[in-house]
């Protein structure tokens, strides 16, 4: 299993600013992902955080807007850049430990709720 800590848990931000969300896993994991969940909606995959290399982004998400780092096997950051009210959402970090590589089971952080004014 894996325990994932995210911070901040919530924040209120001004339009045009940027915020970095941190994700720490208590064990080494194979894959780390970032999802976005807008109110009442499902999870949308933003990108796969690749250790030591550039993240792989899904359609509709770009590196300039959502730069991601993953310097090691247990830590990743997501930055939401030049925020607008449309970026108000819950951002979730998830990870797949080596132990669940065969089942694809994902573990999630508690999420970071961002409100952009």
Partner 1 sequence: SQKIEQNSEALNIQEGKTATLTCNYTNYSPAYLQWYRQDPGRGPVFLLLIRENEKEKRKERLKVTFDTTLKQSLFHITASQPADSATYLCALPQNTGGFKTIFGAGTRLFVKA
Q: Which residues bind partner 1 (CB under 8 A)?
A: 4, 31, 33, 35, 41-43, 45, 48, 92, 94, 96, 103-111, 113
* Shortest distance in whole angstroms from residue 22 CB to partner 1: 15
Q: Which of 78, 60, 82 shows the shortest CA–CA distance to 69?
A: 78
Residues linked to residue 93 through DSSP beta bridges, in sequence order: 34
Nearer to partner 1, 66 or 107 (CB): 107
Residue 13: is it exposed, middle or buried by C-beta count within 10 angstroms (0-12/13-18/19+)?
middle
Query: CA-to-CA distance for 111 and 103, rounded, in angstroms?
Result: 23
Which of 78, 88, 91 has the alpha carbon at shortest distance from 13? 88
Select 13 or 43, whichever has its Cβ closest to partner 1: 43
CB 79 → partner 1: shortest distance, Å?
20
Minimum CB separation of residue 33 from partner 1 in Å reads 7
Nearer to partner 1, 62 or 84 (CB): 62
- Closer of 52 and 104 to partner 1 (Cβ): 104
């Amino acid at each position: 299993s894996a325990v994932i800590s995210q911070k901040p848990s919530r924040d209120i931000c001004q339009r045009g600013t940027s915020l970095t969300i941190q994700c720490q896993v208590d064990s080494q994991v194979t894959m780390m992902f970032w999802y976005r969940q807008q109110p009442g909606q499902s999870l949308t995959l933003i990108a796969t955080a690749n250790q030591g290399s550039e993240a792989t982004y899904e359609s509709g998400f770009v590196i300039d807007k959502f730069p991601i780092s993953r310097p090691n096997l247990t830590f990743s950051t997501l930055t939401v850049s030049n925020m607008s009210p449309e970026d108000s959402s819950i951002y979730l970090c998830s990870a797949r430990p080596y132990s669940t590589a065969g089942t694809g089971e994902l573990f999630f952080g508690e999420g970071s709720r961002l409100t952009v004014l």
